[in-house]
Amino acid sequence: MQATTQQPATQAGTITIGGDLTVNRMAYGAMRITGDGIWGPPKDHDEAIRVLKRTLELGINFIDTADSYGPYVSEELIAEALHPYPDGLVIGTKGGLLRTGPNQWPVDASPEHLDEALKGSLKRLKLDRIDLYQLHRFDSKVPKEETLGYLKEKQQEGLIRHIGLSEVSVDDIKLAQQHVEVVSVQNMYNFGEQKWNDVLNYCEANNIVFIPWYPLNAGDVAAENAIRKVAQRHGATDYQIALAWLLAASPVMLPIAGTSSVKHLDENVQAATIQLTDEDLQDMPLPN
C-alpha cells in the first residue's frame, strides 16, 4: 500500500502502447510549462523543473509534449529536468504545426517540415529514437500518403519507435493504417465534449491508445454542473472528477493532465485514487 500512496498514478492501472511500452494510465501533458499562449519560456522556470521531477515521484511514466510547445521550450525543459531518463519513462512528442505567435498554430505536415521537426525533437530531448511520435494534424495542402510515407520511412530508419495521430476521424485512422501501424490517437475529449465517441470505440476495438486532451470542458454548463455535483460528493476538485471520469470511460484511455504548478499536479494525480460510484455515473454517464 505504501507504494500506491506515495505514487498515486499507479492506482490508475496500466496501458500498453504499441504492444511493448507499458505505462501508468495517469500521465502528464507538458504543454503548460511554457509562457502565455504556449509561447516562450514559463514565468517560473524553477517551478516548471520541479513539476517535471515531481511527475516521476508521483508514479507518472508517460509524458506528452510537442516541438510546437513554446516552440521548443517544453522539450528543452523535459531534458533539463529528467535526462538521463529513468528506465520505463516514455516520452511522446508531436510534429506538424508551425508557430507564428502566441496561440497561433498553422499546420505544416509536409515531409520537409516534419524532417526538421523530428530532428529538432531528437536533439532537444537528447534521444536517439522517439518512443511515440504523433502527427499533430493532417495537412490539407499535403497528400496524406506523403505525410504517412515520411513517418514510415523514419520508423524504418529507427528514429521513431511508434506512430500516433491527433485530431483524426475513424476514416483518417483507417487510411493511415494502410500505410503504418497506428498505436495512439490524441483527440480533444472530455465529459462535456464527446463528439469523438466513434473514434474512442474504434480505438477500443483495435487496441489503440486514446489520449484525450482538454479534460475539463469549461463552458458546457450542464457538464460543469454534473461534474461539480460529483466533486462535492467526493470532496474532490472538478478537475479530479473530470479525470476520474476519463479513466472510467474506457480501458484504452490515457489522460494527460497538464499544469505548471506542483500543487495542482499533486491534486490532479489524486484522481487516480477516486472510484466513481453508480450514483456518480448516473450524474456523469459513461460514453456509449
Q: Which of 69, 150, 202, 239 is catalytic?
A: 69
Non-local CB neighbours of 277 within 8 Å, separated by 6+ positions: none
Nearest to 199 by CA among 154, 232, 164: 164
232-264: burial string, b at 16+ Cβ within 10 Å, e else: eeeebbebbbbbbbbbbbbebbbbbbbbbbbeb
Non-local CB neighbours of 80 within 8 Å, separated by 6+ positions: 49
28 is catalytic: no
Q: In terms of DSSP bridges, do strands 62-64 and 14-17 run parallel, antiparallel, or are they unpaired?
A: unpaired
The answer to whether 29 touches 239, Cβ cutoff 8 Å, is no
Q: Is 156 exposed, middle or buried (0-12, 13-18, 19+ CB in 10 A)?
A: exposed
Beta-bridge mates of residue 113: none
Residues forming the active site: 69
